[in-house]
Structure 1
Amino acid sequence: MPEIPLVPALWRLPAHPASVPRARRAVAEALPHRLRPHLGNHLALLATELVTNAIRHGACPEDDELVELVLWPADGHYWLAVSDPGTGNRRPAVACPDADSENGRGLLLVDHLATAWNVRPRPVSGTSVIAGVPLHRGG
């Protein structure tokens, strides 16, 4: 009999800065206890960066829009997808900020923490950024 996969964890949060710490806590707490020491900080930091970007660049808080997070294990990774309802064609990209810049390092951090990540358009509107963190780090 095949192993039944875990149901992905799903959260829909207001597109408001107060949702960032809620997302961070939710993702860290959704992990099995045995994985929290290894993956908790990485996934919480990814959630922080991706939710912040979704709120800043892809959502309109005054329209009561929501940011969606999905967390699931597959293929030796824990995957985090953060989706925004944005209608713009602006695709998130890694920036090269100078030393004095106060912003622009979020996707650099995502690129460093995640084994793989990508940006996907949503079927109707919006964007999803999906990042994977390996269950076990190789040497």
Structure 2
Amino acid sequence: MPEIPLVPVHWHFPAHPTSARRARHAVAESLPDVVRPHLGDDLGLLTSELITNAIRHGACREDEDLIELVLWPADGHYWLAVSDPGTGKPQLAHPDTDCESGRGLLLVDSLATAWTVRPRPTRGTSVIAGLSFHAAG
């Protein structure tokens, strides 16, 4: 009989700056105890960066637009998908050293085992990032 996968954890957050902290805590609380010490900090950082980018670049008004966050384990990874209603395609930037922002996806690129940007079937964009995890056995 095949192993039945875990059901993904799913949240919606308002497009408001306080949502990054709330999302980071939600992800940390949902991780199994065996995973939290190994991936908790990196998943928290990825969550914060992706939620912040979605709020800044993919949402219009905080009272109408929601940011969707999904977390699930699959194929030796923990995956995050952050979706917003925007139509833009996030791309890596290489800002000058005196710029105060623009490094979020560089951080995602250096932390994540793999990441991509996908359009949503109905409206919006998803950024999906995964971190490798192999439990010590």
- Give the TM bin, normalised by the shorter chain: over 0.9
Give distance in 2, aligned partners of 1:61 and 1:51: 15
Q: Alpha carbons of 1:5 and 1:18: their partners in 2 closer, same or farther (altered >3 Å)? A: same
Alignment of 1:58-137 (within 5 A): 58-86=58-86, 88=87, 90-136=88-134
The share of aligned pairs that are identical, in percent, is 71
TM-score by length of 2: 0.95
Matched position secondary structure for 2:121: coil
Deviation at 1:4, TM superposition (A): 1.0
Matched position secondary structure for 2:34: helix
Paired residues in the alignment total 135
Give distance in 2, aligned partners of 1:29 and 1:97: 34
The 8 Å contact of residues 89 and 117 in structure 2, kept in 1 or not, is answered as yes
The 8 Å contact of residues 69 and 82 in structure 1, kept in 2 or not, is answered as yes
Alignment of 1:31-46 (within 5 A): 31-46=31-46
Matched position secondary structure for 1:34: coil
Unaligned runs of 5+ residues in structure 1 are none
The 8 Å contact of residues 14 and 61 in structure 1, kept in 2 or not, is answered as no
The 8 Å contact of residues 94 and 107 in structure 1, kept in 2 or not, is answered as yes
Give distance in 2, aligned partners of 1:129 and 1:62: 19
TM-score by length of 1: 0.93
Give distance in 2, aligned partners of 1:75 and 1:56: 31
Give distance in 2, aligned partners of 1:61 and 1:6: 33
